[in-house]
Structure 1
Amino acid sequence: MQFIVAIDGSEQSERALEYALDLAGATDASVAIVYAVDPAIREYAADAPVASFADAENYLVVEDEADTEARGEYVLDRAREYARERGHDVETELLYGDPVGSVAEFASGRGADCVFVGHRGMTPRYEELVGSVAAGLVERSTVPVTVVR
């Protein structure tokens, strides 16, 4: 069996990883942990800098692709170390593109048995603007998706 765990550094994605590792231990499944870098999200940045804290809630704070990649690698490294501490040798992969599409495609291409994802991501504001990755995966994935609260 092969499990894919989509993470974003949120507490919910950490719970999804923990749950997947528990099941992997019980079923002798392999685990691949993925993080999606979505370069397109940078297009939603404001044209001008945020002028005040009062204006900040009206903007999606974004980072350039290199910073996003670095954060993704950091999150994957932490997840890999957590898995090792729990006795699992996992694979990690930095994906590019829309998280829903890239994770669903990766899982399908790998012939995965299940995708695990946290119920909520990093920020409610992000989900408000681009939608829930968990809901999108449930709709789009060709393999079963387990959403962990």
Structure 2
Amino acid sequence: MNFVVAVDGSEASDRALDYALTMAEPQGATVTIVHSVEPRILVEGGEEPVAGLAASGDRIVAESLEDAEMRAERVLEKAVERATDAGVEATSELLYGDPVEALPTYADDVDADGIFVGHRGLSKRYEGLVGSVAKELVERSSCPVTVVR
């Protein structure tokens, strides 16, 4: 039995990992801890939202792919260490792109028995506008998805 656990460094994903480990350990299941690399685009300074590219000036900062990969590797290393400390065999995998698309595809490819994900991750502001990643994973995944609060 293999579970896929999505982590992003948030408290919610930490809780999802902890819960997945409590489910995996008594069953002798393994976990694959994944993080979907998607460089961040941040708007810095000013109180008003950016109305368009011309109005953005120097306020938009894009994270490089290399920085996003390094950030993801740190998150994955910590998560694998936590799993190992809990006595659960764990591996990690870097995915690329929108987690709503990357996670269900990956879970299908590895024939996962379930996906564990936090209720809210680091992108709360974005999720409030377009819908929760967790909700979309439930809709798109062919295996069971456990959403942890």
TM-score, normalised to structure 2's length?
0.85
**Residue by residue, what CA displacement relative to the aligned partner does 1:16-58 show, whole Å, maximum 9, x if unpaired?**
000001110111111000000125x65xx66xxx4x3424x65
Shift in Å, 1:143: 0.5
Which runs of structure 2 are paired with 1:52-91 in the superposition (5 Å)? 52-55=45-48, 62-91=62-91
In terms of mean alpha carbon deviation, does 103-112 or 62-71 score higher?
62-71
Q: Give the match for residue 97 of structure 1.
A: 97
Q: Give the match for residue 55 of structure 2.
A: none
**1:34 pairs with 2:27:** no
List gaps (5 residues or longer) in structure 2.
51-58
Q: Higher helix share goes to which structure? A: 1
Q: Give the match for residue 3 of structure 2.
A: 3
TM-score, normalised to structure 1's length?
0.85
Sort the Cα spacing of 1:134 and 1:61 in 2 relative to 1 into closer, same or farther, 3 A: farther
List gaps (5 residues or longer) in structure 1.
none
C-alpha RMSD over aligned residues: 2.1
Structure 1: how far apart are the matches of 2:66 and 2:79? 20
Q: Give the match for residue 109 of structure 2.
A: 109
Identity of aligned residues (%): 50
Q: Give the match for residue 53 of structure 2.
A: none
**Residue by residue, what CA displacement relative to the aligned partner does 1:98-145 show, whole Å, maximum 9, x if unpaired?**
101111001011111100000001132131345321011000001110
Sort the Cα spacing of 1:60 and 1:128 in 2 relative to 1 into closer, same or farther, 3 A: farther
**Residue by residue, what CA displacement relative to the aligned partner does 1:69-103 show, whole Å, maximum 9, x if unpaired?**
11100000010111111112201000001101111
Structure 2: how far apart are the matches of 1:60 and 1:145? 34
3-state DSSP class of the match of 2:135?
A: helix
